[in-house]
């Protein structure tokens, strides 16, 4: 009985952490079983991510999509920064092979185009809710107080703000752009007191970046 009570008590934390960690774990498996496995794992984790989001919705009330001019402006600006800033700073780690499905599946392959569509849709509709819930709803508030639900989303806290942005940036190859990106999304969450605008900005950034990648063949950003 005590174990059951503890599980229920920990649910707000687990529901924000476990989906993200499982999603991240599957990301580390991409390409481990041959080049083509990177794309099949992405498809699998995207479908699993949709299921996770469906399960999370009743328990994470701040995870609701919303639109504002600030979300659009931030989403577009971060995409421009992400691409434009990349040549002008050093990167802390080497990047894995670019995520280019036309290499294993063929230049004119319908399967390759299907994987491109999966990547664009996954990064636009699945990644933003999972990441915003983990970083903005959990990490930011947990750094401030282990009883994180007592910390309002709209409360600006300098140390958690900076720390969350740095952690978010460090998880990306384009780390400097990632830090600026994390700070911008956190600002939206604080300003709006929910995750909806941050999720929308995140989705716009990822969608535009996906269009840029395919249009320019700039696979390094994937």
pLDDT tens column, 77-104? 999 999 999 999 998 766 667 889 999 9
pLDDT in tens, 167-182: 999 999 999 999 999 9
Write out the residue range of the structural domain in which residue 201 sits.
2-221
Residue 5: its pLDDT value, please?
36
Residues 6+ apart with CB under 8 A from 162: none
The kind and range of the H/E element at 16 are helix 11-29
* This model's pTM is above 0.85: yes
- Burial (CB count within 10 angstroms: exposed 0-12, middle 13-18, buried 19+), residue 7: exposed
Distance CA 45, CA 1 (A): 33
Distance CA 222, CA 97 (A): 9
Q: Do 168 and 135 touch, CB atoms closer than 8 A?
A: yes
Token code pair at residue 103: 């290499």
Q: How many structural domains compose the chain?
A: 1
On the question of pLDDT at 138 being above 60, the answer is yes
Over residues 110-126, mean pLDDT = 98
Residues 6+ apart with CB under 8 A from 39: 30, 99, 101, 104, 105, 115, 118
Token code pair at residue 129: 């809710």
On the question of pLDDT at 1 being above 70, the answer is no
Sign of the CA dihedral with 191 first, then 197, 203, and 207 last: negative
Residue 90, SS3 per DSSP? coil
Q: Do 75 and 200 touch, CB atoms closer than 8 A?
A: yes
Quote the distance between the C-alpha of residue 35 and its chain's center.
Answer: 23
On the question of pLDDT at 150 being above 90, the answer is yes
> Any bridge partners for residue 34, and if so which?
32
Q: Which of 83, 99, 121, 123 is nearest to 219 (CA)?
A: 99
Distance CA 93, CA 71 (A): 30
């Amino acid at each position: 009985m005590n174990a059951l009570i503890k599980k229920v008590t920990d649910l707000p934390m687990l529901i924000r952490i476990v989906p993200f960690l499982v999603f991240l774990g599957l990301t580390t498996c991409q390409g481990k079983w041959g080049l083509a496995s990177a794309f099949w794992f992405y498809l699998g984790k995207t479908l699993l991510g949709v299921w996770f989001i469906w399960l999370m919705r009743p328990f994470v009330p701040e995870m609701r999509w919303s639109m504002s001019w600030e979300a659009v402006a931030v989403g577009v600006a971060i995409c421009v920064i992400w691409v434009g800033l990349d040549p002008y700073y050093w990167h802390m780690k080497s990047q894995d092979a670019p995520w280019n499905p036309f290499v294993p599946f063929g230049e004119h392959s319908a399967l390759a185009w299907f994987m491109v569509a999966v990547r664009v849709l996954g990064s636009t509709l699945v990644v933003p809710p999972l990441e915003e819930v983990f970083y903005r709803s959990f990490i930011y508030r947990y750094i401030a107080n282990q009883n994180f639900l007592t910390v309002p989303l709209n409360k600006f806290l300098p140390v958690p703000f900076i720390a969350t942005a740095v952690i978010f940036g460090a998880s990306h190859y384009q780390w400097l752009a990632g830090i600026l990106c994390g700070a911008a999304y956190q600002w939206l969450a604080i300003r709006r007191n929910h995750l909806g605008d941050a999720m929308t900005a995140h989705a716009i950034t990822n969608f535009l970046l996906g269009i840029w990648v395919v249009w320019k063949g700039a696979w390094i950003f994937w």
